[in-house]
Chain A
């Protein structure tokens, strides 16, 4: 994993932890489907995305939701979006 993804991962975990504080971060398998491991209903999931928009400044369009199945894929997606922004 590229080093620059670490802070993004920490921010994402922090956001999920706010909405689902019962989550045991240590038990989370980063490359397995997230919503199969944590009890996030549709409203929780939308709140996760809204918090990502608010705190990381990345607005994720609905068409991209299918790329966000695991913690790893969320972090990679956000890293790509954020780096595109700095380069642009």
Chain B
């Protein structure tokens, strides 16, 4: 029988004399050289700080092209390029606090743009490359994005058609990935950078100045922009060391795209703050390619996601036969709960367990983890990292929130507020922000239980958001796009359980009374949704229904749609129409 706990040999080495007691955010600040009340800038701490140190000539990034040829960029070169881009933004009239959006594949220019914009105090908001025009328009309009950095191919397909609807967008900076030359109404990346000065571009931002804007989804309404401040890098730095065991000599591979919060926090900021080298693979997931990268690049620390792990498991043991991963020391996962089978598979395949971690866009960094120094409980989220205090709470409408002390009782995961990477606002939605808190507790919306040893176990969501391939998708955004089609009367969207993706997006569509369902119409609706939303947000399945179930107040009962999909009992239907 497999043991329920994997003991960590690391414990004695990394946790001498109970290091957890010694932890404080003030000490993390001192480790990063931050003076009390002094300036704090993410890009300075991630890049410039190393560019004048013994790490200056060490690669900050190793970019792997489609053909896997590597291109290294040193901390010194990265500092110079980000100065140039920062100065270029200043020459375009960008001021601290202005919003800069990036919509790019994982190529060098994306990383330079993000860090260059942070350096001059602009707020950076990344867009996932698989978004369609509507998610792009909605997010940029909410934040009044002033500059967009994108590729010529993405611009042609996704931005040009909606540009007229974005009056705040002053400048589009284009990376010419098509070799097509000048595009009207845009500025070429190469030309802009060439013309810019490389004198230091740094603006002395403070710990509380806004830095990053990550959009995330809830059950109701359009995505919300969670705003994070420059001090968030303290969390990135501390958790990379504690939860990911990352060290300056490491080659680190975070497989998440910077279009999502993981790819920003741990694909860029955390590893650079530590002084490690980040692998960036420009290609999409490919099981054989990933095995080759892990082996031949000599990855030491690997941070990935359950969907990718399940795809590697599905590929079968032959893919790994004859390969050795001598350099690999630590594997961690994030995005959704990791099944215990994946931990056992990893033990057999890599001779290492996978350390699951839990956090959200709103938390900005890892909060709960099977940390390097801790024993692993396969299937558990882990325990709160140093500096974080977590509770299980009872949270019911109309009742005060109370802390549950009894172990093994299901409740909502809540965190004591005040850690450096906690979101400071939902852009333009103060009411929704306030609803996330009860007193000093941030309410995560995730249902958990805690065992007697303090390990947290994920139980489910308290709302209807969909987790597909580790990405949070709000049903409302999908339903809204479907309802724009003239044949659709109403749409209800759920996450349908899927062996690989966790959940896939499924839409139930009620047609207008004079419209006849057909395969051709289903195909037309799918095309409509994919054109508007892009592959990441559009449904994978569409089913026609006569009518959708509602509450008495008229809200679509997505839970009932899901129960029907799963063949479960429909439960109490007293609130149905």
Of residues 24 through 56 on chain A, the ones whose CB sits less than 8 Å from some CB of chain B are: 33, 35-36, 39-47
Q: Interface size for chain A: under 10, 10 to 19, 20 to 34, or 35 or more residues?
A: 20 to 34
Chain A residues whose CB sits within 8 angstroms of the CB of B318 once the complex forms: 61, 63
With beta carbons under 8 angstroms apart, the residue of B153, B285, B315, B540 that contacts A36 is B153
Chain A residues whose CB sits within 8 angstroms of the CB of B531 once the complex forms: 22
B402 proximal to A (CB < 8 A) = no
B523 proximal to A (CB < 8 A) = yes
Least CB distance, A68 to chain B, in whole angstroms? 10
A21 proximal to B (CB < 8 A) = yes
A20 to B535, CA, bound (A): 9
Chain A residues whose CB sits within 8 angstroms of the CB of B319 once the complex forms: 62-63
Of residues 310 through 347 on chain B, the ones whose CB sits less than 8 Å from some CB of chain A are: 311, 315-316, 318-319
Chain A residues whose CB sits within 8 angstroms of the CB of B459 once the complex forms: none
Q: Which of B218-226, B286-294, B365-373 contacts A (4 or more CB under 8 A)?
A: B286-294
B384 proximal to A (CB < 8 A) = no
Instruction: State the main secondary structure of chain A at its contact with B.
Output: helix
Least CB distance, B127 to chain A, in whole angstroms? 14
Chain A window 48-83, contacts with chain B (Cβ cutoff 8 Å), 1 for yes, 0 for no:
000000000000011101100000000000000000
Least CB distance, A80 to chain B, in whole angstroms? 18
Least CB distance, B328 to chain A, in whole angstroms? 20
A44 to B526, CA, bound (A): 13
Assuming the contacts A21-B526, A62-B287, A66-B288, asked whether A42 and B469 have C-beta atoms less than 8 A apart, the reply is yes
Chain A residues whose CB sits within 8 angstroms of the CB of B523 once the complex forms: 18, 21
Assuming the contacts A39-B132, A42-B311, asked whether A65 and B530 have C-beta atoms less than 8 A apart, the reply is no
> Are B504 and A65 within 8 A (Cβ)?
no
Chain B window 87-111, contacts with chain A (Cβ cutoff 8 Å), 1 for yes, 0 for no:
0000000000000000000000000
Chain B residues whose CB sits within 8 angstroms of the CB of A44 once the complex forms: 535, 540
Chain B residues whose CB sits within 8 angstroms of the CB of A22 once the complex forms: 526-528, 530-531
A46 to B500, CA, bound (A): 10
A22 to B311, CA, bound (A): 26
Chain B residues whose CB sits within 8 angstroms of the CB of A33 once the complex forms: 66
A18 to B500, CA, bound (A): 20
In this complex, what residue of A is CB-closest to B319?
A62
Least CB distance, B473 to chain A, in whole angstroms? 12
A5 to B527, CA, bound (A): 27
A35 to B289, CA, bound (A): 16
Assuming the contacts A21-B523, A46-B500, A66-B288, asked whether A41 and B130 have C-beta atoms less than 8 A apart, the reply is yes
Least CB distance, B318 to chain A, in whole angstroms? 8
B267 proximal to A (CB < 8 A) = no
Chain B window 125-150, contacts with chain A (Cβ cutoff 8 Å), 1 for yes, 0 for no:
00000101000000000000000000
A20 to B130, CA, bound (A): 13
Chain B residues whose CB sits within 8 angstroms of the CB of A20 once the complex forms: 527, 530, 535
With beta carbons under 8 angstroms apart, the residue of B285, B286, B534 that contacts A39 is B534
Chain B window 513-533, contacts with chain A (Cβ cutoff 8 Å), 1 for yes, 0 for no:
000000000011011101100
B501 proximal to A (CB < 8 A) = yes
Assuming the contacts A22-B527, A62-B319, asked whether A43 and B153 have C-beta atoms less than 8 A apart, the reply is no
Chain A residues whose CB sits within 8 angstroms of the CB of B500 once the complex forms: 43, 46
Least CB distance, A88 to chain B, in whole angstroms? 21
With beta carbons under 8 angstroms apart, the residue of B132, B289, B501, B528 that contacts A66 is B289
In this complex, what residue of B is CB-closest to A42?
B285
> Are A21 and B540 within 8 A (Cβ)?
no
> Are B288 and A63 within 8 A (Cβ)?
yes
Chain A residues whose CB sits within 8 angstroms of the CB of B483 once the complex forms: none
A61 to B291, CA, bound (A): 14
In this complex, what residue of B is CB-closest to A22?
B527
Chain A residues whose CB sits within 8 angstroms of the CB of B348 once the complex forms: none
> Are A41 and B535 within 8 A (Cβ)?
yes
> Are A39 and B289 within 8 A (Cβ)?
no
In this complex, what residue of A is CB-closest to B153?
A36
B307 proximal to A (CB < 8 A) = yes
User: B-side interface residues toward A, CB under 8 Å?
Assistant: 66, 130, 132, 153, 284-289, 307, 311, 315-316, 318-319, 468-469, 498, 500-501, 504, 523-524, 526-528, 530-531, 534-536, 540
27 contacts between A and B (CB under 8 A): A20-B530, A21-B526, A21-B527, A21-B530, A22-B526, A22-B527, A22-B530, A22-B531, A35-B284, A36-B153, A39-B534, A41-B130, A41-B535, A42-B311, A43-B468, A43-B501, A44-B535, A44-B540, A46-B500, A62-B287, A62-B315, A62-B316, A62-B319, A63-B288, A63-B319, A66-B286, A66-B288
User: A-side interface residues toward B, CB under 8 Å?
Assistant: 18, 20-22, 33, 35-36, 39-47, 61-63, 65-66
The 8 closest A-B pairs by CB, nearest first: A22-B527, A21-B527, A62-B315, A41-B535, A62-B287, A39-B535, A21-B523, A22-B531
Excluding A21-B527, A39-B530, A66-B288, 10 further A-B contacts by CB distance (< 8 Å) are A21-B526, A33-B66, A35-B284, A39-B535, A42-B284, A43-B504, A62-B286, A62-B315, A63-B318, A65-B288
